[in-house]
Amino acid sequence: MLAAGMLMSAGMAYPQVSGTQTPSTMTKIVVRVMGPGIKPGSHAALPKTIYRAGEHYARIEDPPDARQRQEKLTIIAEPDAYSVNLIDKTGTVAQRQGDANDLHVPMVLPFDPNHELLNLDRLEFGDELDFFERSGAAKTAGPLINSKPTDAYVLKESFGMAKLVVRGGTDIPVTLSWQARDGTYKYEYMAYQDLPFDPALFAKPAGIRFKNVTPDTGVEEK
């Protein structure tokens, strides 16, 4: 795990893909995390923006971190992967040759730094409801939020309970929470919408000094 409160690993599988069709839409997600291990107003608590398009495109925009002099941008447009610091205009680029595998945008659980909860470790942004349904979560009526009904999907695990709340009758997440020993951690979805695919968001960033790195093995970095 990168640090407590970071939402996902930077390492993703990006195999060689040929003959793929450019997607027509993309999903934009703006999300922030909160919980007992996340200091309000800290860099870890700030929202980040994620774009996911089809099986081979992703973009992750981290908020600026003045203390670390870093504003991280990650772009996956298989087989290319770019990791950029927008503050000092440096970055890395890599390609991976190998069998085609779908792109994964995994969540990092703030209370599980060693990734011991293997079932919940398979949670991905853009695949929240499917995950809970595949895992056998019980569906119940959720709370009223802004006077609108919601649906709740509850999954009981050995460590406690995980719950996904979606807008009533949709697959659009509102919150995603887990019980932990030190309290409840929650992702709050500030935006979750389908938009027309914008190829410029997944292009190689301009004005960056890039360094080539060794191709990824396909193992997600923790």
We report the CATH number of the domain holding residue 98 as 2.50.20.10
Question: Tokens 């695919």 correspond to what residue?
Answer: 197
Residue-level pLDDT at 139 = 95
Residue-level pLDDT at 173 = 96
* Structural domain contains residue 15: no
Structure tokens at 135: 């895992």
What per-residue string of b and e applies to 34-65 under the rule 16 or more CB within 10 Å gives b? Answer: bbebbeeeebbeebbebbbbbbbbbbbbbeeb
Residue-level pLDDT at 24 = 96
Question: Tokens 């909860």 correspond to what residue?
Answer: 117
Q: How far apart are the C-alpha atoms of 158 and 191, rounded to whole Å?
A: 31
Q: How far apart are the C-alpha atoms of 75 and 52, rounded to whole Å?
A: 10
Q: How far apart are the C-alpha atoms of 136 and 129, rounded to whole Å?
A: 11
Count up the domains in the chain and report the number.
1
Residue-level pLDDT at 178 = 85
* Structural domain contains residue 220: no
* Structural domain contains residue 62: yes
* Structural domain contains residue 8: no
pLDDT, averaged in runs of 10, over the chain (222 residues): 33 43 93 91 93 92 93 92 95 71 65 61 85 91 94 85 93 91 89 96 95 60 35
Domain range spanning residue 104? 25-212
Burial (Cβ within 10 Å: 0-12, 13-18, ≥19) of residue 99: exposed
Q: Is the peptide bond before 15 cis (omega within 30 degrees of 0)?
A: no
Q: How far apart are the C-alpha atoms of 137 and 162, rounded to whole Å?
A: 9
* Structural domain contains residue 101: yes
Helix or strand holding residue 160 (H, E): strand 160-167
* Structural domain contains residue 5: no
* Structural domain contains residue 219: no
Burial (Cβ within 10 Å: 0-12, 13-18, ≥19) of residue 31: buried
Whether 15 contacts 88, CB under 8 Å = no
* Structural domain contains residue 10: no
